[in-house]
Structure 1
Amino acid sequence: MSTTTGRRVGRPRATQRPDSGMSARDELLLAAAELFTTSGYAATTTRLVAESAGMRQATMYHYFSGKEDLLAELLESTVAPSLTLALRLLADDARPAEERLWELCRADVELLCGGRHNLGALYLLPEVRGERFTSFHRVRADLKAAYGKLLAATAAGGALDRGERVLRTDLVFGLIEGVILVHRSDPARPLGAFAGATADAALRIVGCSPTGPCP
């Protein structure tokens, strides 16, 4: 069903809730994120997601075909903004590559750890290997490739042979994604300082000292 403006119209809500200012789609994603990360993906039903968002289950199906759709969109939200930044940084070759790599690492950590829910923990779900998540894996692979190009453009990275560059790209990318677990152990830790320290550590893996040509 559509209005004359072309916007999709949802069905009536199951319960009246205060207006959050969010679209119905975003409310469903937020509800799914909370349930997937607290109750577990397997234990979460579409009915629970809909009820948590104050909607009928039929309304949820108006926006998403099922749990996999919700999960896929949540996962893509953890990588797409970083890929956009990475491509912009790759194009900005007037700045030292070390500085650009440091900025990407810092921003990526802030994206992964700055959300309300620990979505990065969902990467390990066996369901994520399914065909529905091809787009997520493609964006994630493109992001990792951008990390590799920035790493290779640094003075230290450029001096490495191909095999060593691949290894260090794997290590840097693994460090950035793995900080979710570190952050979970102390979520009150100031995010800016945490992200900066992680970016410093990433550059040390490359062979660049953050006290040298890096920020």
Structure 2
Amino acid sequence: MRSRRAAPGRPRHVPNTSAVAPRDQVLNAAAELFVTRGFAATSTREIAERVGIRQASLYYHFAGKDEILAELLQRSVRPTVDKIEKIEALVPPETHATALYLLALIDIRTLADAPHNVGILYAQSDVTNSEVYAEFQHTRRELVDAYGRIGLQAASVDVTADIDAPELGEMLMHSIEVVTGIRSDGTAMTPQRANRIASAVLRTCDVSNETIAAAASAAFELLAEFHHETASPMAESTL
């Protein structure tokens, strides 16, 4: 889907006092409405009113509601997918267990930073039936493949003999997506919670506790290299 180029909009209904870019303000408002009211029940007029702009001005940033949804869905996976190559390039000298732990930490942060917990939109039928959902699924598949590939390399012999990469990838992704449920309960995604989730991912691969501890230590040090690439102007996470 082709995005519209941002251009100066018409005068705002409400003066813009926010440091957040207008395009991100639209995304933030849309995310809140999609999550609380549903995608189908939200109009572009309501999104524009939430931002404080005229509906016509919204179309300077997005061609329509589907394009807004497409970007919000991508923001819940794309920041992690864009780092897969860099993560895998760390091995060696890092271990596959460290790479998997690091991938999990970055993915947890991506979901924790996604505006207004947009990960819960995955389960809404009006979203899954939208035209843009297939594109999101393609990006998500890249992430599933990475989890499966790295996970099998880190896993014990018993695990590799019993499960293939696509199935393992889905299992590990579901372990990470618990973040959306935690956010729904209003619980902050602290580093301690992130550590427990990432450790659970490695335990699914039957990685020993000693190896998990070493992977966690190395991954937390490496995470600083990815911090500036992961920060979001709409981030709500403390991770």
What is aligned with 1:145?
145
TM-score by length of 1: 0.87
Q: Which moved more, 1:193-202 or 1:147-156?
A: 147-156
Gaps of 5+ in 2: 217-239
Greater displacement, 36-45 / 99-108: 36-45
- Structure-2 residue corresponding to 1:3: none
How do 1:118-137 residues align onto structure 2 when only pairs under 5 Å count? 118-126=117-125, 127-137=127-137
Matched, 1:105 2:101: no
Whole-Å separation in 2 of the counterparts to 1:107 and 1:147:
12
* Pairing 1:52–2:57 present: no
- Taking a change above 3 Å as real, the CA distance of residues 26 and 179 of structure 1, as seen in their structure-2 partners, is closer
- AA at the equivalent of 2:215: C
Partner amino acid, structure 2, of 1:82: T
1:177 equivalenced with 2:177 (yes/no): yes
Across the aligned residues of Structure 1 and Structure 2, the Cα RMSD in angstroms comes to 2.2
Contact 1:14/1:51 (8 A) holds in 2: no
Q: Could you list the per-position Cα deviations for residues 16-72 of structure 1 after superposition, in whole angstroms to 9, with x for gaps in the alignment? A: 324312322111111101111122222211100001111111111222122111111
SS of residue matched to 1:63? coil
Question: 2:144 and 2:37 mapped to 1: Cα distance?
Answer: 30
Question: Which residue among 41, 48, 55 is the counterpart of 1:43?
Answer: 41
Corresponding position: 1:9 with 2:7: yes
Q: Is the 8 A contact 1:79 1:143 kept in 2?
A: yes
Q: Is the 2:66–2:130 contact (alpha carbons within 8 Å) kept by the matching residues of 1?
A: no
- How far 1:156 sits from its partner (Å)? 1.7
Asked whether the equivalents of residues 172 and 202 of structure 1 are also in contact (C-alpha less than 8 Å), the reply is yes
Distance 1:17 1:33, change over 3 A: same
Looking at structure 2, the residues matched to 96 and 151 of structure 1 have their Cα atoms a distance apart, in angstroms, of 11
CA deviation map 1:71-129 (0-9, x unaligned): 11000011011112222111221110001101111221122123451110011122334
